[in-house]
Chains A and B, each alone.
Chain A
């Protein structure tokens, strides 16, 4: 295509660049500050280029920075989040796939009602669910534990994962199920041998969705865990509390970047599948 620079094309690009810059400036500020020393930031202001590159910020933040009396950096909280997000993502995706498979391919009396109730969970605000979870975690003795958070995120994730998988599986032809039943395959064999091999596109979508959602979740983390049991999102806030008396923008910026790294990586590697998967059913 011959590229002709016209006025309208210029205007479009200028607008797009302006909007992109608007979104990217905060990230840029955080990245730059993560590489500046506290003195530099205090002297030259929050917005500015690094005087010299301070890679040490990342190392200190990771392993020795003090958050609410604990001077072990954000490292333990990062691993807390990992211990929370990995099982919760895997279990909720697996059950979502099983639910979706049951609801779309093994139609039973009242299946639409069950599906309706399950998807209702998608629309319930988080805050509404706090009190019921307080009771559940107390009775199970899971208060202030990572296991408690895993339970919450697994159960709450089911609404989304079931919705995603059910809507994907609904396009699997019923004849396939009939053929498999005549061949003698049962519920689980059909799932493992026929449905699951067709599932990677939707499983990638649900895994990305669950991983980013659970990793970034803050309210439950801060409500149900304290101190060393907190996931990284809650710990970041504890870190910013110190900001008031002795601002350490460099380390804090590095902490923000480290905390955002896993979801960024997941999106970079899985983003293509994510967009493809979301539109898979629509175009066919």
Chain B
């Protein structure tokens, strides 16, 4: 059953459309992530789902029920905000019971629910504190606790980890994932951080300029990006994209770069037959460009000048020049590369993507 169905939702501020006909079906138990650059409309969409904002056109269904005339409080949802939005004058306990109080949940049930959720999130010792006496990570937990006491059809998370420092963010990310697995709840989660999207989601909706670019599982989004935007947005560092030409040689398709100096065999799964002798955009992930010693049987050897290196500890990101274009590769940290030196690299061509230069769509 679809827990959330979004049909042709439009939102305009004045004449500017911020959502241009969004369609989305999220199944029960799914962890769906809306990801995109700031201003892409993802938070607006979440607010419309929550009933905090209204669409100009289109419908929202939650649990199979149309939401057009249903107020935020009656949608059976719970929301976690980026700013946590804890009520400053109330204790943690009061923050958690406030919603139940509004819904006239019996006192005994309130007490029972708070202690269960507090135990789950390990915030039992914080219950009598005010939000101002909590650290960022503790506030984040309380904000989740306030959502969890409701047991809703849908959890909405609006960039919940953006205000945490890097270390805490990784910890809380794992904790949210664990909670989802444990509670089997349906979550719609907004973020601009594509790593959060990759690590948490069962399905990712990549948004840009008010449109859904792709809605698929993380593996597909990463390896079969629907278009150039998705290819360049997902992944850190992002996918390399460079102009190429499709050529045929002995019944096999190749992508020719740099005046045909470099020829990369194309995976047979890419139906690029229609593009023979035409210009395309070739996409290759940085992790497919590695040092020569790590070559695979199917790898293609290239020799390219190194322009710059960025050691991250676990690996070294290397900027090289391939057929006149800057390309990023990832090599083992013990490989010492000198800028300006021509070095041999191995290209794993099995996951090459091709895009139509006019429509920017994946050639498939």
Instruction: Check if B87 sits within 8 Å of A182, measured CB to CB.
Output: no
Query: How far apart sit A179 and B143, CA to CA, in the bound complex (Å)?
Result: 10
A175-B81, A193-B98 are known contacts. Are A180 and B103 too (CB-CB below 8 A)?
no
User: Taking the complex as formed, is A21 at the interface, i.e. its CB lies under 8 A from any CB of chain B?
Assistant: no
Instruction: Check if B98 sits within 8 Å of A183, measured CB to CB.
Output: yes
- Residues 70-94 of chain B, each 1 if its beta carbon lies under 8 Å from chain A, else 0: 0111100111011111111110000
A175-B81, A179-B79 are known contacts. Are A185 and B102 too (CB-CB below 8 A)?
yes
- Residues 164-191 of chain A, each 1 if its beta carbon lies under 8 Å from chain B, else 0: 0000000001011011111111000100
How many residues does chain A have at the interface if contact means C-beta atoms less than 8 Å apart?
Answer: 16
User: Taking the complex as formed, is B328 at the interface, i.e. its CB lies under 8 A from any CB of chain A?
Assistant: no
User: Taking the complex as formed, is A25 at the interface, i.e. its CB lies under 8 A from any CB of chain B?
Assistant: no
| A interface majority secondary structure | helix
- Residues 144-174 of chain A, each 1 if its beta carbon lies under 8 Å from chain B, else 0: 0000000000000000000000000000010
User: Taking the complex as formed, is B50 at the interface, i.e. its CB lies under 8 A from any CB of chain A?
Assistant: yes
Set of chain A residues within 8 Å of B73, measured between Cβ atoms: 181-185
User: Taking the complex as formed, is A194 at the interface, i.e. its CB lies under 8 A from any CB of chain B?
Assistant: yes
Shortest CB distance A195–B (Å): 9
Set of chain B residues within 8 Å of A189, measured between Cβ atoms: 102
Instruction: Check if A176 sits within 8 Å of B87, measured CB to CB.
Output: yes
- A residues with a Cβ closer than 8 A to B are 173, 175-176, 178-185, 189, 193-194, 197-198
Set of chain A residues within 8 Å of B90, measured between Cβ atoms: 193, 197
Nearest first, the 8 A-B pairs at minimum CB distance are: A197-B89, A183-B99, A184-B102, A184-B73, A175-B85, A179-B85, A175-B81, A181-B72
Near A by CB (< 8 A), chain B positions 45-88 give: 47, 50-52, 71-74, 77-79, 81-88
Query: How far apart sit A266 and B78, CA to CA, in the bound complex (Å)?
Result: 46
Instruction: Check if A178 sits within 8 Å of B102, measured CB to CB.
Output: no
Instruction: Check if A198 sits within 8 Å of B88, measured CB to CB.
Output: yes
Query: How far apart sit A178 and B79, CA to CA, in the bound complex (Å)?
Result: 9
Instruction: Check if A185 sits within 8 Å of B77, measured CB to CB.
Output: no
Query: How far apart sit A176 and B74, CA to CA, in the bound complex (Å)?
Result: 18
Instruction: Check if B81 sits within 8 Å of A179, measured CB to CB.
Output: yes
Query: How far apart sit A25 and B73, CA to CA, in the bound complex (Å)?
Result: 63
Knowing that A175-B82, A179-B79, A183-B99 touch, tell me 17 more A-B residue pairs with CB under 8 angstroms. A176-B87, A178-B47, A178-B52, A178-B79, A178-B81, A179-B81, A179-B85, A182-B50, A182-B73, A182-B78, A183-B146, A184-B99, A185-B73, A185-B98, A189-B102, A193-B98, A197-B90
Query: How far apart sit A194 and B88, CA to CA, in the bound complex (Å)?
Result: 8
Q: Which residue of B lies closest to A189 (CB)?
A: B102
Instruction: Check if A178 sits within 8 Å of B85, measured CB to CB.
Output: yes
Shortest CB distance A31–B (Å): 43
